[in-house]
Structure 1
Amino acid sequence: MQRHDYLIIGAGMVAANAVDGIREHDKTGSIAILGAEPDGPVTRPALSKKLWTDPDFTYDKIWMQPEQDDHTTLYTDTRVQSINRDEKTVTTASGEVHGYDRLLLATGGTVVTLDDLPAGERVLYFRTVRDYDRLRELSGNQRHIVVVGGSYIGTEIAAALVQNDTQVTLVYPEEVLGSRMFPPSLASCFHQTYLDQGVKLLGSRSVDTGQVQGERVTLSLDDGSTLEADAVVFGLGVTPNIEIAEQAGLEVDGGIMVNERLQTADEHIFAAGDVACYPDRILGRRRIEHVDHANQSGITVGHIMAGSRETYDHTPYFYSTVFDMAYKAVGTLDSSLETVEDWETPQEKGVVYYLEDGRVKGVLQLNMDPEKLNDARRVLNDTSEQSEETLKGRIEIA
């Protein structure tokens, strides 16, 4: 058995940041990272964004390089089977046993899939570097690819592909693309932008099943129609990988329950990133899947595991960039809430506030300076009742 001062389950962005955080306080403690995927940590958002649209952002830049030293070991293709909290050990699927002093659960999420359509050479449930590599092979030369899902991954992949010489059909459940998140005026603009860029939109529909025959994929939709394409890419979201924590007797509730120090009820076990359900100081207890949270919770939990007395007090933002629309947001974006729009240029540059019972629950900034995100956090932290009169002009549009 190998014993480590720090053991990290999961080899994604959280793990890479946690290693760097540990090394800021502990230069020589032994660290082991157990990753189920065949590759080490990558900047995952680039797989659906910059690698497709920024010629200066090359493939070699996606690889995250946590501080390398003789005391840090990365194990790839290593799936953890169980945690023994009494013995402070974990056992892998191959039977290897690793001991720990402090354990970080950074297990991320698993993509949602269709039962009747398994992943394959022409069916991608987009998540990994291998998915990106394969999609690059399948795209271009005016091939036809169906993208399924109208949230972040689906809309980003559709935008990326159509800008890379690919015919794209986007299948999504809403009537108007973006209408679950944006107010009607902005959703309509978002929807029209995709049409103007050449994406075929099939709203109010979902994929029931499909089959692959040779080099073609045929999809059956819920309205009885069919689609044929060279490939299909699904972006249906992820479910957090919390089973190992649950089996170990840790408290879970949609995520692994942690305190403000990202610590579970077991003082030796921590959780961060997608799987952690933590008490946000502004938004309340929640689980967040976005990159800013992965980075910041990772670095912070590394500090804490190495002895820092700090707490995780960062309220993460999330972002997406499609075509000429770059939006960043903090809090809850739900079009069923009351919204107040404050535009410098309508639907091109400005702020949208989301209110519930007069309290601001979310702030969206479109094509604005990222430095304005702290202004959004201050608005969210103000629990007084707000209105259109008090909110317009509250954040300078720049």
Structure 2
Amino acid sequence: MSNPIEVKATLQPAYDHIIVGGGVAADKAARAIREVAPDASVLIISDISDGPLYRPGLSKDLWLKPNAELDSIDLATKENTGAELLLGTRVTALDPKGHTVTTADGQQVGYGKLLLATGASARHIGTPDDERIVYYRNADDYRHLRSMVSEGTRVAIVGGGYIASEMAAGLAAVGADVSVHFPGKRILEQMFPDSITGHLSKLYESKGVSLNGDFFLDSLSAGEKLVLKSTSGDEVVADVVVLGLGAAPNIQLAEEAGLTLEMGGVLVDETLATSAPDIYAAGDIATYDDPILGRRRVEHMAMAERSGDTAGRTMAGERTEYRYTPLFWSDLFDDGYEAVGETRTNHRVEEHWNDEHTAAVLYYLDDNDVVRGVLLWNTWDSVPKAREVMAASKEGKLAASELAGQITPGG
């Protein structure tokens, strides 16, 4: 895939369906619309300069697989759906009454049905405007970061969560000298108990990644080298800094249009319809009623895929309900996991390991001993069973004392 260029298309006055956003949810929605209503016109407007990509590849395959290129994660949305793509273009206004959107270059376009799939943006803090400081989120960020990293490049990652853990593994795999700096005691401690974080600490260090807890960033200065200073006065010198501080949902367009918001997202019903007629929301920004966990908002790939498909089908005339508890997953060097629900260590965690202590099933229980999340550590093909356990626990059909043996670790 060559570097994209911004294309100013000549648009129709109106489309049957407009999708605002250029990620996986947009791709899935366009595919569903095409399947249900082959003759419908579809326009995808995205402020990103690439068409929809399989986003997990940006922090996984492109770093971990030899010779992997951006083409390998391109979803080929236009070719597979016939949708018109308007890239590198921001939608600045949404008029629910007039059924129109307005772009930054002044184009106004009408719609029959609209999907907001605007995703989330990397959280920013006050940092110098320097190309060596990267907030990692999209393909342009990948191109830029990859161009600066080679064998021995000193890369400091700030953050101890999901994206920081994956980027540390990926950058180490291509030979960078990686250090990770985070305020907690151990990386991913908000998700994993000591049994796993202790293992990960040893694993990352064995791969040459330096993990530095109790690091509270005070300042980041850009001179000949980048210098990070902690609140305790410690300094870290780096060639490149990657900031992995989480993401914020892109809900400004919905908010300004008067759509109902809740839990930091756009509130939707069982068909992913918003409070405004003919407007739907999917992916990171959708606040919905999970059939097991209740009202929540989820920023993971499975959510984007399934909700995009559901919204597209309903928009095209095939009413479909979103009744789904999404999973998420990651690979960390030679280990991997799949998980469902609230895998947070502020819940009580019950651990079940195999005899070799290489695989585990972890249950996350609330104060009422109801299972709110399941983590499958090096345990595969068990997500459906994990959902069954959570549903049975919620309904009072499975006691906490009966969890042992429900899922076999390492299965």
Interval containing the TM-score (normalised by the shorter chain):
over 0.9
Q: 1:92 and 1:104 mapped to 2: Cα distance?
A: 15
Structure 2 residue 92 is matched with structure 1 residue 97: no
Sort the Cα spacing of 1:68 and 1:114 in 2 relative to 1 into closer, same or farther, 3 A.
same
Could you tell me which runs of 5 or more consecutive residues in structure 2 were left unpaired when the two chains were aligned. Answer: 1-11
283-292 or 344-353, which deviates more: 344-353
Task: Report the AA paired with residue 286 of structure 1.
Answer: R
- Provide Cα deviations, 1:20-56, integer angstroms capped at 9, x if missing partner: 0111101110100110011111111111111111237
Structure 2 residue 58 is matched with structure 1 residue 41: no
Q: 2:318 and 2:293 mapped to 1: Cα distance?
A: 24
The number of aligned residues is 395
Contact 2:34 2:81 in 1 (8 A): no
Sort the Cα spacing of 1:68 and 1:325 in 2 relative to 1 into closer, same or farther, 3 A.
same
Of 34, 43, 49, the residue aligned with 1:32 is 43
Q: 2:120 and 2:52 mapped to 1: Cα distance?
A: 14
Contact 2:311 2:320 in 1 (8 A): no
Structure 2 residue 399 is matched with structure 1 residue 396: no
Q: Percent sequence identity over matched residues?
A: 37
State TM-score, norm by structure 1: 0.96
RMSD (Å) for aligned C-alpha atoms: 1.6
Of 336, 343, 349, the residue aligned with 1:326 is 336
Q: 1:210 and 1:347 mapped to 2: Cα distance?
A: 41
Match of 1:4 in 2: 15
Secondary structure in structure 2 of the residue aligned to 1:156: helix
Q: 1:132 and 1:348 mapped to 2: Cα distance?
A: 33
Sort the Cα spacing of 1:375 and 1:267 in 2 relative to 1 into closer, same or farther, 3 A.
same
Secondary structure in structure 1 of the residue aligned to 2:77: coil
Q: 1:386 and 1:114 mapped to 2: Cα distance?
A: 45
Secondary structure in structure 2 of the residue aligned to 1:68: helix
Match of 2:147 in 1: 137
User: Once the 2 structures are TM-superposed, how far is the Cα of residue 267 of structure 1 from its aligned partner?
Assistant: 2.6
Structure 2 residue 73 is matched with structure 1 residue 84: no
Sort the Cα spacing of 1:69 and 1:180 in 2 relative to 1 into closer, same or farther, 3 A.
closer
Of 226, 245, 269, the residue aligned with 1:236 is 245
Task: Report the AA paired with residue 110 of structure 1.
Answer: S
Structure 2 residue 34 is matched with structure 1 residue 18: no
- Provide Cα deviations, 1:61-110, integer angstroms capped at 9, x if missing partner: 11111253795210011101111111100111111001000000001111
User: Once the 2 structures are TM-superposed, how far is the Cα of residue 325 of structure 1 from its aligned partner?
Assistant: 1.2
- Provide Cα deviations, 1:99-146, integer angstroms capped at 9, x if missing partner: 00000000111111112334x320000001111112212222211100
Contact 1:340 1:388 in 2 (8 A): no
Could you tell me which runs of 5 or more consecutive residues in structure 1 were left unpaired when the two chains were aligned. Answer: none
Task: Report the AA paired with residue 26 of structure 1.
Answer: A
Match of 2:9 in 1: none
Structure 2 residue 221 is matched with structure 1 residue 203: no
Contact 1:28 1:71 in 2 (8 A): no
State TM-score, norm by structure 2: 0.93
User: Once the 2 structures are TM-superposed, how far is the Cα of residue 163 of structure 1 from its aligned partner?
Assistant: 1.7
Match of 2:323 in 1: 313
